[in-house]
Structure 1
Amino acid sequence: MIDATGYTYCHEHLHIDLSPQKHAIDCRLDQYELLCDEMREVQKRGVRNIVEVTNSFMGRNPQFIEDLIDDTGINVLLSTGFYIEGFFPDEIYSMSASQIAQGMIREIEDGLEGSRLKASVIGEIGSSEDHFSPTEQKVFQAAAIAHLETGRPISTHQSMSTMGKQQIELLKKSGVEMTSVTIGHCDLRDNFDHILWMLDQGCYVQFDTIGKNSYYPDSKRAASIALLCQRGYEKQIMLSMDITRRSHLKANGGLGFSYLIDEFVPLLKQHGVNDLQISTLLQSNPTRLFG
């Protein structure tokens, strides 16, 4: 469970391997000592929790995370579920939503195979860019079943900030309360009205690709968050970086995990976000959802 005494990154990867699909070794994030260094550094900055949303068939490695926890003291919440088209195991296509859900429930209640750890988040479950395939929808239905059985929160993936409305509508139809849902990757394009609509449904939204300026500039992320805080939505917003590549790590020339605290938080302050609001985004909100 979450350590309420510090900050939480709501959407990260500490061990992920998308290299088979992306044909690039950079997409295999598994450099243990460098990740230990990164976790020690973020803890110096008040970060206590990492929500690790790597799930089955994305290169999840609970034994690796166990060692990371033991060697650095960082608190990590692990996830159960399936990602998006192109990253599904073959058997998922012939399984029912109920069968998929049983696997999720098992990983939450009994634990992850070969590990002492249990999943405590249902995620990162996603939709493709501008498309929500039947199998992706089936995974969402399974997530709803698992959530209703276990009470664990649901964390989603929007490809390029698309299809969030459809995700919410499906989860609502499946009986999920929006206060138990966080919609991922809301910060990859100009979509302020879309974000407002999602917030008004009662869910959380994630500005979770902070630092990925090639997709969308952090200056715009900060301006959007400031405007949302002015409008009273700060209790529904969370922050993260979605680090997935070796080249994202500080030692490899990337921004590193500490960038969010060292660079983005001061940028928020420049845009008028105050200390209490920053604490709400990074501490209170994740504690409420993931606690």
Structure 2
Amino acid sequence: MTGRVRTVAGDVAAGDLGRVDYHEHLFQVTPLLPGDELDDESAAAAEAAELRESGFEAMIDATPLGLGRDVPALARVAAATGLRIVSATGAHRESHYRADHPLVALNEADLARRFTKDLRSRSGIVKAGIDYWKITRFSRRVLAAAASAHAEVSAPVMVHLEHGSAAHEVLDVLEADGVSADAVVLAHIDRNPDAVLHAELAARGAFLGYDGFARHREHPDSVVLDCLERAAHLGAENRLLVGGDVARRSRYRAYGGLPGLRYLGLRVVPRLIAMVGEDLSDRVLRRNPARLLARF
């Protein structure tokens, strides 16, 4: 693996990244989740330490601008735990922001400048988001601004797909703006566990973010793992990533909830290895995320 990955503690060689949890949130405050704020640095450090102890050496903190993102605190957590943390810039889907939030009023050029400034500093990925089968005018501005920042800095782009919807459509928009699909990770694609669709998206070059574990009200972990295995057999093996996306105070052990960030390492990874073997597991956990992130 070649190239370097931008973390909150500085750039690291892609080959030194280790196992990567591609999607978590150590800090997040959003009006969509009242009472589930992640806003305590000591709790963030405790969860990060448990993730590290469960076998992960790195993670992407996928909280973008305006939602409690705290890069200096992420750097302190990284220093305290030894976990390599890649911070996101960008903006989420519009419903995560109050109507009077200043970020919502920014035009494409202003958004692009904010994203690019972060990527030149301590952020290693730019994030956008869409609603369920809907790309709003705000989301379209964010996608265009993310594309502009990518053109300046070559950073990868993460897109939140609500319930896994509109994946091809998002790739079409980004490709029209100059972002190759192989620089894009489609977050929550497993919320639509359609392995044939996933293989199609991988054939276009996109990375596929499987992060719906421990959501048993929707489906058991076996659905996500079975979909991942089938997608791999259909040709997506070099595009698969896994994450936890725990994202809520009520689901953090450090705040008194369950299952915590360690669930991915303790419960999911052993099943993944038993199901698909060491080589494919190493691609999913180490080699694929390193290739996505090694853009600097």
Identify whether the pair has TM-score above 0.5, normalized to the shorter chain.
yes
Q: Distance in 2 between matches of 1:204 and 1:69?
A: 25
Instruction: After superposition, give the CA deviation of every residue in 1:37-57 in whole Å (9 maximum; x if it has no partner).
Output: 322232233311110110111
In the other structure, the counterpart of 1:46 is 55
| C-alpha displacement of 1:64 | 1.9
CA contact (8 A) 1:17 1:28 kept: yes
| CA deviation string 1:43-83 (max 9, x = no partner) | 23331111011011111112321221122121111111110
Q: Does 1:289 align with 2:259?
A: no
Q: 2:139 aligned with 1:120, yes or no? A: no
Give how far 1:21 is off.
3.6
- SS at 2:218's partner residue? coil
How many Å separate the matches in 1 of 2:104 and 2:159?
20
| Matched residue, 2:132 | 129
1:64 to 1:130, Cα distance in 2 relative to 1, 3 A: same
**Structure 2 match to 1:256:** 260
| In structure 2, C-alpha distance between the alignment counterparts of 1:168 and 1:21, rounded to whole Å | 26
| Alpha-carbon distance change, 87 to 44 in structure 1, aligned in 2, over 3 angstroms | closer
TM-score where L is the length of structure 1? 0.89
* Residue 228 of structure 1, CA deviation: 1.6
Which shows bigger deviation, 81-90 or 126-135? 81-90
In structure 1, distance between residues paired with 2:289 and 2:84: 13
Note if 1:95 corresponds to 2:99.
Answer: no
Partner of 2:208: 205
What does residue range 1-291 of structure 1 map to in structure 2 within 5 Å?
Answer: 1=6, 2=12, 4-5=15-16, 6-18=18-30, 20-22=31-33, 24-25=34-35, 27-88=36-97, 90-109=101-120, 111=121, 118-123=122-127, 125-251=128-254, 252-270=256-274, 272-291=275-294
5+ residue gaps, structure 2? 1-5, 7-11
Q: Which runs of 5+ in 1 are unaligned?
A: 112-117
Question: Structure 2 length normalisation: TM-score?
Answer: 0.88
* Percent identity for Structure 1 against Structure 2: 22
Note the C-alpha offset of 1:133.
Answer: 0.7
CA distance in 2, matches of 1:69, 1:223: 33
Provide the alpha-carbon RMSD of the alignment: 1.8
**Residue pair 2:196, 2:234 contacting (<8 A) in 1 also:** no
Whichever residue aligns with residue 7 of structure 1, its letter is R
CA distance in 2, matches of 1:277, 1:196: 15
